[in-house]
Amino acid sequence: MQEIGDLYLLDAVPGSSSLLQRLHIFDPAARFDRSQTYVGYLGLNLKRITVVAILTHFRTNGVRGLNIPVRYRTDLMPAEEARLYADIHMEERGGRVMGPRRSVNPMLWHFQVHDPAESSLEPREGGGNMTVDALDGHIWTADESIEYGYDYNNLL
C-alpha cells in the first residue's frame, strides 16, 4: 500500500505563487487563495512519491518543506507527554533528559539527553539527542530517521 502524504511548508509561500497554483494538477481539490500566505500543512492527499517530487521541485525554487504522512495531521501528543516517553527511555538506560530541542517537523519531538554510555563524564551541549514520535511515542532509531529523510524527503 502506498503511503498518503501532505506537504508541510517551512517557509511562507504566497497563494499567488505558481508553485501552489499548479498543485491542482496532482490533487484536484488543491485550491489556494491568491490573497493568502501559506505555511505548514497544505491539506494535500497524495502518494508519498508524488509529494517527494513536488517537495524536490519546491526546494529547487528556494522553498523548504517536509513530506508528512497524513496520519500525523491530527491527534498528536503534546511535548509534555512526549517528554514522559523520553524520560522512561532514558531512565531505563541510566541517563536523563536534559531538555527539549527545537523541532521543525510536526511528527517529532526532540530532546537533549545525557547517556552515561557515551564517553563524556558530564552532560554537555550536543551530548545526545532523542527523537520521540508525536503520534505513538516510540523512540526513533537512527535507521528510521535516515529512512524517513531519504524515502519521504529526498534527503541524503
Does the model's pTM come out above 0.85?
A: yes
Q: Is residue 30 domain-shared with residue 51, that is, in the same domain?
A: yes
**Of 16, 38, 72, at which residue does a domain stop?**
72
65, 86: one domain: no
What pLDDT does residue 68 have?
Answer: 98
Q: Residues 144, 129: contact at Cβ < 8 Å?
A: no
Q: Is the domain of 62 the same as that of 86?
A: no
124/144 same-domain check:
yes
Tell whether 146 and 109 lie within a shared domain. yes
Same domain, 123 and 142: yes
Interval 2-46: pLDDT, tens: 899 999 999 999 999 999 999 999 999 999 999 999 999 999 999
Quote the domain boundaries for residue 41. Answer: 4-72
- Judged on CB neighbours under 10 Å (0-12, 13-18, 19+), 130 is buried
pLDDT of residue 126: 46
Do 84 and 134 lie in one domain? The reply is yes
- 149: its cell numbers: 529523510
For residues 99 and 43, state if they share a domain. Answer: no
Condensed to tens digits (0 to 9), the pLDDT of residues 61-119 reads 999 999 999 999 999 999 999 999 999 999 988 888 988 888 899 999 999 998 776 65
pLDDT reported for residue 114: 82
Which residue among 72, 98, 132 closes a domain?
A: 72
The pLDDT of 130-156, averaged and rounded, is: 94
b/e 7-33 (16+ beta carbons within 10 angstroms → b): bbbeeebeeebebbeebeebbeebebe
Split into its structural domains, the chain has a count of 2
Question: Can you read off the three cell numbers belonging to residue 156?
Answer: 541524503
Residues 46-70, mean pLDDT to the nearest whole number: 97
Give the residues across from 5 on adjacent strands.
46, 69
* pLDDT over threshold 90, residue 122: no
